[in-house]
């Protein structure tokens, strides 16, 4: 090639285009910024060699080709991890080799070159086809990598968004957790206060029932005490008569025997009524102390009758004008029932007190004097169960509230007259403590019936 003709400029221009393509394809401006400054100026060597070409022979063109090939190979070697760069190196390697060999043969072994020019041309053609094929492959690889990179960036963006959402959600969850924890602590505090209040109300209910019991006991215990006092006085008189009779010279054995018999009978009656007073006191003590949950065989009929009269006299102690008819029908075949007597006593006392309260209220509301308060209590045994029925002809319970009467703190009594825990405690004692049932049947204005069922 003559550097003075136009082919020199074409070679330099073609080399510049190739270098520009390589820079753009391999993105050297961003991947190899330091080297790229020199790479984009490599075309200047062509003009320098063009100047030398006017002085030195043509083989200097080979040096320009070597510089271009070296620049490309050096660039690719620094980007070897970039897959399209490796493919591009594979594309230009055969063509570069053949191009150098061709120029060397053309200038150094002209005769050999002319004799084998067809083979060299064929090889060059094959190298060009190889070059084009792998350039296309490299271009496709770059597009695939660009697409994969874009998808990777999208994935990273999605991860970033997800991470941001996650952090936001974690913050919201932490904030909500703190709020829930605060509410939980407030609720626990409220529950603690409610339990304390409930305990106070339960205690108040027990004290109220104890008050009812005490009022009844005060009246009920007076009878056996009167009998004890009276028979004690009579017995003292009999002892005095017996002493006088024994001091006489002429003693009457029959009179002494009669006096001793009377004295024995009096002592038996004192013992009987003393036992009666003792049982009342024992019942009061059992009722007042906390339940141990210990079951024991109990005469249900005697327990029911005792608490019925205690409840009646308790109400009469508050209202001397109140009177009611008491009807009892006890099944003598019941025998001893296993139960916690003080707990069942509380239940019975509550039901009896409520029954007397209901008939008392109806009596106050009655328009005429024909109404007669009446409370009927019966026991019976059926299907292996002891059944206690407490019936009154009082004010009755409205149907709308019958399902609520066993709920804690629900009461139909005016404010200050009931805590709303009596029936709730009674229900728990019967159902949970004794595996029984407590049911209510009522009709407003006519009366109420409570039915207790206990395993016998």
pLDDT tens for each residue of 48-103? 666 555 555 555 566 666 777 777 787 778 777 777 778 777 777 777 777 777 77
Task: Return the pLDDT at 4.
Answer: 44
Task: Return the pLDDT at 284.
Answer: 56
Which residue carries 């009457």 as its tokens?
Answer: 252
Residue 25 and residue 56 in contact, taking contact as beta carbons nearer than 8 Å: no
Segments of the chain with pLDDT less than 50: 1-5, 287, 416
Beta strands in 79-122 (DSSP E): none
In CATH, what number does 294-456 get? 3.30.565.10
Q: How far apart are CA 122 and CA 125, in angstroms?
A: 5
Task: Return the pLDDT at 3.
Answer: 42
Task: Return the pLDDT at 363.
Answer: 87
Domain boundaries, the chain: 6-161, 221-289, 294-456
Question: pTM for this structure?
Answer: 0.46
Task: Return the pLDDT at 387.
Answer: 93
Give me the long-range contacts of 156-161 (CB less than 8 A, separation at least 24): none
Give 31-79 as a 3 state SS string. Answer: HCHHHHHHHCCCHHHHHHHHHHHCCCCCCHHHHHHHHHHHHHHHHHHHC
| Among the listed residues 429, 433, 425, the one whose alpha carbon sits nearest the alpha carbon of residue 406 | 425
Task: Return the pLDDT at 209.
Answer: 57
Task: Return the pLDDT at 2.
Answer: 43
Task: Return the pLDDT at 115.
Answer: 75
Task: Return the pLDDT at 439.
Answer: 92
């Amino acid at each position: 090639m003559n550097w003075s003709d136009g082919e020199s400029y074409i070679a330099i221009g073609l080399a510049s285009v190739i270098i520009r393509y390589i820079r753009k394809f391999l993105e050297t401006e961003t991947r190899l910024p330091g080297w790229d400054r020199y790479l984009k100026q490599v075309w200047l060597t062509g003009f320098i060699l063009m100047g030398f070409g006017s002085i030195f022979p043509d083989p200097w063109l080979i040096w320009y080709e070597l510089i271009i090939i070296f620049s490309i190979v050096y660039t690719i070697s620094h980007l070897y991890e970039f897959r399209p760069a490796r493919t591009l190196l594979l594309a230009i390697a055969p063509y570069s080799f053949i191009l150098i060999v061709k120029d060397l043969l053309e200038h150094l072994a002209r005769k050999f070159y002319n004799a084998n020019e067809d083979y060299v041309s064929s090889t060059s053609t094959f190298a060009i086809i190889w070059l084009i094929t792998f350039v296309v492959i490299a271009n496709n690889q770059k597009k695939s990598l660009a697409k994969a990179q874009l998808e990777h960036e999208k994935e990273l963006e999605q991860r970033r968004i997800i991470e941001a959402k996650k952090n936001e959600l974690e913050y919201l969850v932490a904030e909500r957790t703190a709020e829930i924890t605060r509410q939980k602590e407030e609720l626990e505090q409220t529950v603690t206060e409610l339990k304390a209040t409930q305990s106070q109300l339960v205690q108040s209910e027990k004290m109220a029932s104890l008050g009812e019991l005490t009022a009844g006991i005060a009246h009920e215990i007076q009878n056996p005490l009167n009998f004890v006092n009276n028979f004690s006085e009579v017995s003292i008189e009999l002892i005095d008569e017996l002493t006088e009779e024994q001091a006489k010279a002429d003693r009457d054995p029959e009179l002494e025997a009669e006096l001793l018999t009377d004295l024995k009978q009096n002592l038996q009656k004192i013992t009987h009524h003393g036992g009666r007073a003792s049982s009342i006191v024992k019942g009061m003590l059992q009722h007042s102390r906390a339940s141990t949950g210990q079951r024991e065989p109990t005469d249900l009929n005697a327990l029911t009758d005792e608490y019925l009269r205690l409840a009646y006299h308790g109400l009469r102690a508050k209202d001397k004008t109140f009177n009611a008819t008491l009807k009892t029908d006890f099944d003598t075949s019941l025998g001893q029932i296993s139960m916690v007597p003080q707990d069942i006593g509380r239940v019975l006392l509550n039901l009896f007190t409520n029954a007397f309260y209901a008939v008392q209220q109806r009596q106050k509301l009655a328009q005429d004097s024909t109404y007669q308060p009446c409370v009927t209590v019966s026991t019976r045994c059926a299907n292996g169960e002891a059944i206690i029925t407490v019936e009154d002809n009082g004010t009755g319970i409205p149907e709308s509230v019958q399902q609520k009467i066993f709920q804690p703190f629900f009461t139909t009594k005016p404010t200050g007259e009931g805590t709303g825990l009596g029936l709730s405690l009674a229900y728990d004692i019967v159902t949970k403590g004794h595996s029984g049932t407590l049911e209510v049947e009522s009709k407003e204005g006519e009366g109420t019936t409570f039915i207790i069922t206990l395993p016998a």
